[in-house]
Structure 1
């Protein structure tokens, strides 16, 4: 059993890092909004899904006019990421303005129900548009980067099996880490980032110090949604097939990653996403071996959530979170 786990480790790390990077960026959207509003924006998963469809639609359009064949893939990727990020950023701002801002003084339960309602609304809207244009709500994304790379892990040690990955693995990791590092710099090194941290700490005091709280909240939704939309493009490019329901399960897991790392903590969301992705791929590759074929790869979610429960039992605030004393 141990030998099998070691043999599959290189492939598990490759697949886990790819999936974990997707979870990490989506988790950033959850943790940013929660850090300021203490709101779980359950529509964020559907913003990620919308980004996947917007990016795919742009790629299909560019393929139709011959752009992809005429221009380098990197140029096309940057263009698609920029357009999709701006579109989903404004979508997130619109959702905040229409659905959340009027309920800001209401109970958190009402806002939570509204977020779930927006999630279903976006799902059905995207499905309706896709079926109207395509005749089917499952869409294949045009290949922008093709080819696979073999990793000769066995040459490093006879304990390892060789591994393979698609070129999009490198693309996903590079773009994901650039986005995460860029967000970290923005939040900690810029004037707007300082304003976001001030509003997260005490919105009333921040407003007394001439900070426009509504603008800061709108900016938070824009950035979080833009990141989610860009991640949707990366997901569509790597996995090749999307549907209007991919945002639900991925959004739920990304929220889990945010909780695992410590919701409201940006670095915690990054680490939680990467950790959850690796755990999930580890379970998919080795769960049947560990349990003697009692549990198969389809139970990988159970394994990942069991780890989450154990972590939260001993550290309820998450791995990077800080215990907060509630004021009475």
Structure 2
């Protein structure tokens, strides 16, 4: 039973990191941009749900998703589209700028003190299943993760839009010459990444039970590490990297002595570093990123 609980924990934590990694990897795939403002999408979703919590749950979910998507599209249109084609360092600095701007804007609007996350408090309910005491949140998180991963896989593999996304990720210039509307594809990538960020926002906010302007930083960093580990530019690699990082994190929680558990992430990043030394291109090698001769 204990082993089953650890497996369930690993799947839930890994799913959270996988969704973060997919959101980051999707934008990198079509723009070659590490979007550090992706963490603020998580933060925005949490505050939106908290501010709308007096409404019926379906309305809160729908409106908060619309808010996060609108913010993502505004960032793409206002910050990244004018800089498209510029030096990658310029885009990277722009993503940092947007991230810190949104964090400080949230401090101005909501204050620096953490606020309680009051949406759907029933998620904290404990279920008894075969001798296991499992929070309802774990099942909701697992269900949302499966739906998000399956929906993204179907979109990318089975639809015209998915083909355009994959074509743009392979070579933006060739995709544009082939008649693909690159502006629309990139905007769509931001929309999808925003929806993924909202799913993370719901589960992560409910887990920590509070909201803060910098709440998206930690999942962003771990999601970025998972993206690198899985292979930058590969969506399957990003998902695999997220689940692997989650499994390692739970394993370290089990095997480390209690006095060293507060430093679990140091051990986690150390192990990831060792893996990348052995395989620097990540688990999944992306052909589009290999040097062409």
What is the TM-score when the length of structure 1 is the normalising length? 0.82
Query: Which residue in 1 is equivalent to 2:171?
Result: 202
Q: Does 1:138 align with 2:132?
A: no
Query: Which residue in 1 is equivalent to 2:266?
Result: 302
- The answer on whether the counterparts of 2:232 and 2:286 sit within 8 Å (CA) in structure 1 is no
Structure-2 change in CA distance of 1:79 and 1:320 (3 Å) = farther
Q: Does 1:148 align with 2:142?
A: no
Query: Which residue in 1 is equivalent to 2:161?
Result: 192
Q: Does 1:315 align with 2:279?
A: yes
The structure with more radius of gyration = 1
- The answer on whether the counterparts of 2:230 and 2:237 sit within 8 Å (CA) in structure 1 is yes
Query: Which residue in 1 is equivalent to 2:291?
Result: 326
Query: Which residue in 2 is equivalent to 1:178?
Result: 147
State how far apart, in whole Å, the 2-side matches of 1:122 and 1:42 are.
11
Cα shift readout 1:60-93 (whole Å, capped 9, x = no counterpart)? x22xxxx4xxxxxxxx2x5433322222112111
- The 3-state SS of whatever aligns with 1:164 is strand
Structure-2 change in CA distance of 1:150 and 1:307 (3 Å) = farther
Cα shift readout 1:29-66 (whole Å, capped 9, x = no counterpart)? 1100111111100110111111111122222x22xxxx
Q: Does 1:222 align with 2:186?
A: no
- Report which stretch shifted further, 198-207 or 214-223: 198-207
Structure 1 position 163, deviation (Å)? 4.5
Structure 1 position 187, deviation (Å)? 0.8
- The 3-state SS of whatever aligns with 2:75 is helix
Aligned residues: 291
Query: Which residue in 2 is equivalent to 1:275?
Result: 244
State how far apart, in whole Å, the 1-side matches of 2:220 and 2:39 are.
4
Q: Does 1:100 align with 2:80?
A: yes
Structure 2: gaps (5+ residues): none
In the TM superposition, what are the counterparts of 1:245-264 in structure 2 within 5 Å? 245-264=214-233
Structure-2 change in CA distance of 1:163 and 1:275 (3 Å) = farther
What is the TM-score when the length of structure 2 is the normalising length? 0.92
Query: Which residue in 2 is equivalent to 1:36?
Result: 30
